[in-house]
Amino acid sequence: MNNIDDIKPKADSLESKCPLCNSKGFFSFQGRDFLFDKPETYQYMQCINCAAVYEEPMPTFDEIVRYYPDDYDVYTKIPPLKHFSFSKLGVLHYKYNYTDLNIPWLFRLLSPSIYAFKYCDTIRFIPNGKGLDIGCGNGKFIRDMNSLAWQFEGVEFNPIAVDICRRAGLKVFHGDLHTAEFKDNSFDLVTARHVIEHIPDPTIFMREIARILKKRGRLVIKTPNSNALGRRWFGMHWFANDVPRHLMLFFPTNLKVLTKRFGLCQIAEKTFSKPRIILKSLDYLTGNLGKPYNKRKFFRLLARLYVLLAFISRRGDEVFAIYEKI
């Protein structure tokens, strides 16, 4: 196996072009597929203008398809419905317009106090609201949202995942967002959770989302934060790099600028971390093939300290942001 520390950059920074702003980039890091333990290496550049990080050269469609084995991620079975606690449902009712939920009166009464102590980022409910989950996987998120009275459907690339969704009675298009050819102004809410980093041209992707959103419709994005403390600490071993499947890594400001170009206004943004990401990164860094750090109590405790540090410094591993079509 190659020692990836010894490999020199393949691309001349003068030749590379940022997919977001077309500016030049400089070498950022060289990594390999730690998840499936493959030896091939891939190079990433960072834009000198907007600081977006992108794979260079950008892989072709056929190459991208080969990055995803059938057992990638979640495609296994119909997931159970999420259990929402009464305190969470109370906050949804009190603050986010989820007025049709069946909630005990005590939790309705207490919901303003609960909200004051436990702020939960979510989307305000729209009666008869239509939603689209891009890259819906096994459909868990669609089912959870529909249990809150949304009318969600999905788009999914993986045929096994699509089959699982359809067996669960969910409406899912098999393919990518563009081939689905949704009508203009179709959705009140579009969610792209851990999707945009897998897209070779996020500009075309965002234009399509803006087209299918209704006016005042909202977009939710979750994606790795290229400005994360964990990325700084672990470099090429940072779990959320997910080389080579992640084609781009975004600074939060990249997303704000990109969405604004298509008439979407940012209304919320935060970063957050989970112990799992940093402990998986530690597995990669140390080449740990034994018991994962995520399964060791002491390290899970230590990771909570990291989560706190990332929170205080506003450099969490993931970005969560909401945009509205104006």
Residues that bind Zn ion (CB under 5 A): 18, 20-21, 23, 47, 49-50, 52
Please give, one letter per residue, the 3-state secondary structure of the chain. CCCCCCCCCCCCCCCCCCCCCCCCEEEEEEEECCCCCCCCEEEEEEECCCCCEEECCCCCHHHHHHCCCCCCCCCCCCCCCCCCCHHHHHHHHHHHCCCCCCCCHHHHHHHHHHHHHCCCCCCCCCCCCEEEEECCCCCHHHHHHHHCCCEEEEEECCHHHHHHHHHCCCCEEECCHHHHCCCCCCEEEEEEECCHHHCCCHHHHHHHHHHHEEEEEEEEEEEEECCCHHHHHHHHHCHHHCCCCCCEEECHHHHHHHHHHCCEEEEEEEEECCHHHHHHHHHHHHCCCCCCHHHCHHHHHHHHHHHHHHHHCCCCCEEEEEEEEC
CB of 17 to Zn ion, least distance (A): 9
- The residue (of 16 and 138) whose beta carbon lies closer to Zn ion is 16
Report the candidate in 318, 227, 319, 322 with the shortest Cα–Cα distance to residue 274. Answer: 318
How near is the Cβ of 21 to Zn ion at its closest, in Å?
3
Work out how close the CB of 49 gets to Zn ion at its nearest, in angstroms, rounded to a whole number.
Answer: 5
* Shortest distance (Å) from residue 181 CB to Zn ion: 29
We find the least distance from the C-beta atom of residue 240 to Zn ion, in angstroms, to be 20
Q: Residue 283 has which token pair?
A: 């597995």
Shortest CB 61 distance to Zn ion, Å = 22
Residue type, 132: L
Residues 223 and 196 sit within 8 Å (Cβ to Cβ):
yes
Q: Compare residues 47 and 213 and give the one whose CB is closer to Zn ion.
A: 47
Q: Are 88 and 120 in contact (CB under 8 A)?
A: yes
Burial of 102 (C-beta count, 10 Å sphere; 0-12/13-18/19+): exposed
CB of 47 to Zn ion, least distance (A): 3
- Closer to Zn ion at the Cβ: 47 or 165? 47
User: CB-wise, 90 or 202, nearer to Zn ion?
Assistant: 202
Q: Which is nearer to Zn ion, 50 or 132 (CB)?
A: 50
Q: Which C-beta is closer to Zn ion: that of 20 or that of 277?
A: 20
Q: Which is nearer to Zn ion, 138 or 227 (CB)?
A: 227
Closest contact distance (angstroms) between CB of 261 and Zn ion is 13
Residue number with CB closer to Zn ion (14 or 289): 14
Minimum CB separation of residue 245 from Zn ion in Å reads 21
Nearer to Zn ion, 23 or 41 (CB): 23
